[in-house]
């Protein structure tokens, strides 16, 4: 795709796209479609749609294609593995790609503890496995999680998810025993305090109030935490917050479960987002970018937490051979091609440009992020900071018409998560489209 992008021939949805969208809407059950992009093929950070438009991808298939669409090393690994065998039930038999991947993940986890790995197919399954690990080992029933957290949509993980009402509406009762605490959301501090003079009140209150009322610590199995809250709005906690939380968990024998499903795999410039802190998690959940575009999840945990009885937990497809091969190739690319350094470098470039754009646009209420995990929270005005989801939705649609694929997050945020391998000229072009889309959408109010 050597053409200059974005290249819009017919603003999406063009005629071919409209036909496929109609078919999709007739037969596909509940979905969260964001923009009318009907993909034909994709390479690097560029997507060609069925009507011949070339769009810049700031979504990476929701943080999955961290090494870019169609990376040659990942494709070659998939082809080679598929030619040998595609599936052989990795929980019941043995094969090398799975064992090698487990070894790599166990060794990449922070801290010096020996670790073990359980493979799944998705983020929610990783959360479910982590719930079972925590209950099985501690024999405690309660969990702590955070308001606006997202850990998945199956019935166990949903009890921990508190991101948007739509995820929970109509599904009560949840798995009992999840207690939610406000996250470190400094732009809208629920306690109306200011960092650092707050002395991390939002962690201190766990011991001072929650443990003394609804959640006796000796009954709490684990605290589930996203190192950057993803679906909740790309909220980055302040310095020292994660360490303080880890300290509280450790003091009470509570497992710290670090959900890296969205923020991990190099996205923030480090392999895991928690590595920006000194906290050492007991359990790490992974999925999304782990499979290099194929469905794969994993739980990496302290070896002493391993199930003591074979079959206590299992799954048919978890650790599928082709997905493991794609994952090993993805790790090779992350390690060999300077991808995480690119995420740091281009993340800083993006952050600077967004800050410049916000200087003259008060609707850009807060710009935040780490590496190439970034977002803007759109507001009505700088004084009230009232969330502006209508404007956000207009910007996402307008950007798509102009050739940039975006995703919303939180109540009124847009996340910017291009492949970590994106070239700087494409990143700049994408930000140029974003700027135009913001201005056009504000004018259209």
Ligand X SMILES: Cc1ncc(COP(=O)(O)O)c(C=O)c1O
Binding site for ligand X (CB under 6 A): 122-124, 127, 150-152, 226, 230-231, 259, 261-262, 287
124 or 412: whose CB is closer to ligand X?
124
Within 10 A of 253 (CB to CB), how many other CB atoms are there? 12
Question: In the bound complex, what is the minimum distance in angstroms from residue 375's beta carbon to ligand X?
Answer: 13
Min separation Cβ 235 and ligand X, Å: 12
Q: Please, what is the minimum distance in Å from the beta carbon of residue 60 to ligand X? A: 12
Least distance (Å) between residue 355 CB and ligand X: 25
Q: Shortest distance, CB of residue 169 to ligand X, whole angstroms? A: 18
**Closer to ligand X at the Cβ: 217 or 232?**
232
In the sheet with 404-405, reading across from the earlier edge strand, the strands are 39-43, 46-49, 54-57, 404-405
Q: Residue 364 carries which DSSP code?
A: E
Residue 113 DSSP symbol: S
- What's the CA dihedral at 354, 45, 424, 378 to 10 degrees? 0
DSSP characters for 265-288? TTTTSSSSGGGGSS---SEEEE-G
In the complex, minimum distance from the CB of residue 229 to ligand X, in angstroms, rounded to a whole number? 8
Cα–Cα distance between 242 and 245 in angstroms, integer? 5
Q: Which residues contact 184 (CB under 8 A, 6 or more apart)?
A: 200, 202, 203, 235, 237, 238, 241
Nearer to ligand X, 152 or 408 (CB): 152
Q: By C-beta, is 261 or 325 nearer to ligand X? A: 261
Taking the least distance from each CB to ligand X, the nearer of 95 and 143 is: 143
Tokens representing 145 are 């999680």
Which residue lies nearer to ligand X by CB, 185 or 211? Answer: 185
Please report how close the Cβ of residue 123 comes to ligand X at its closest, in angstroms.
2
Separation in Å, CA 345 to CA 87, 242, 338, 342, 419: 39, 24, 11, 5, 13
Chain mean position to CA 3: 31
Cis peptide before 13 (omega within 30 of 0): yes
Q: Which residue is nearest to ligand X (CB)?
A: 123
Which CB atom, from 262 or from 421, has the smaller least distance to ligand X?
Answer: 262
């Amino acid at each position: 795709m050597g053409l200059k992008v974005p290249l819009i021939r017919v603003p999406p949805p063009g005629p071919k796209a409209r036909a496929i969208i109609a078919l999709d809407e007739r037969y596909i059950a509940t979905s969260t479609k964001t923009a009318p992009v009907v993909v034909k093929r994709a390479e690097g950070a560029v997507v060609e749609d069925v009507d011949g438009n070339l769009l810049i991808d700031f979504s990476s298939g929701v943080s999955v294609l961290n090494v870019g669409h169609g990376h040659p090393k990942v494709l070659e690994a998939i082809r080679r593995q598929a030619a040998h065998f595609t599936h052989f039930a990795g929980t019941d038999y043995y094969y090398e790609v799975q064992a090698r991947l487990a070894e790599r993940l166990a060794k990449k986890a922070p801290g010096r503890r020996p670790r073990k790995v359980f493979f799944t197919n998705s983020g929610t399954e990783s959360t479910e496995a982590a719930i079972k690990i925590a209950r099985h080992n501690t024999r405690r029933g309660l969990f702590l999680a955070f308001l606006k957290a997202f850990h998945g949509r199956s019935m166990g993980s949903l009890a921990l998810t508190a991101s948007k009402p739509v995820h929970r509406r109509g599904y009560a009762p949840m798995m009992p025993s999840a207690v939610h605490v406000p996250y470190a959301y400094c732009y809208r501090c629920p306690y109306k305090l200011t960092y650092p003079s707050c002395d991390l009140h939002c962690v201190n209150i766990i011991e001072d109030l929650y443990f003394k009322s609804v959640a006796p610590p000796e009954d709490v199995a684990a605290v589930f935490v996203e190192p950057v809250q993803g679906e909740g709005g790309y909220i980055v906690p302040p310095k020292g917050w994660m360490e303080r939380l880890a300290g509280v968990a450790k003091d009470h024998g509570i497992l710290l479960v670090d959900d890296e499903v969205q923020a991990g795999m190099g996205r923030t410039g480090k392999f895991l987002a928690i590595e920006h802190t000194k906290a050492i998690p007991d359990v790490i959940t992974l999925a999304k970018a782990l499979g290099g575009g194929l469905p794969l999840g994993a739980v990496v945990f302290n070896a002493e937490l391993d199930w003591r009885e074979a079959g206590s937990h299992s799954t048919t497809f978890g650790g599928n051979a082709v997905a493991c091969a794609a994952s090993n190739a993805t790790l090779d690319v992350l390690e060999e091609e300077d991808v995480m350094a690119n995420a740091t470098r281009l993340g800083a470039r993006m952050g600077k440009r967004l800050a410049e754009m916000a200087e003259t646009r008060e609707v850009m209420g807060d710009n935040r992020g780490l590496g190439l995990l970034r977002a803007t929270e759109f507001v009505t005005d700088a004084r009230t900071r009232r969330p502006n989801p209508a404007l956000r939705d207009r910007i996402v649609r307008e950007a798509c018409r102009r050739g940039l694929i975006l995703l919303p997050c939180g109540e009124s945020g847009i996340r910017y998560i291009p492949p970590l391998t994106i070239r700087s000229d494409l990143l700049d072009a994408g930000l140029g489209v974003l700027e135009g889309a913001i201005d056009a959408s504000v004018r259209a109010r």
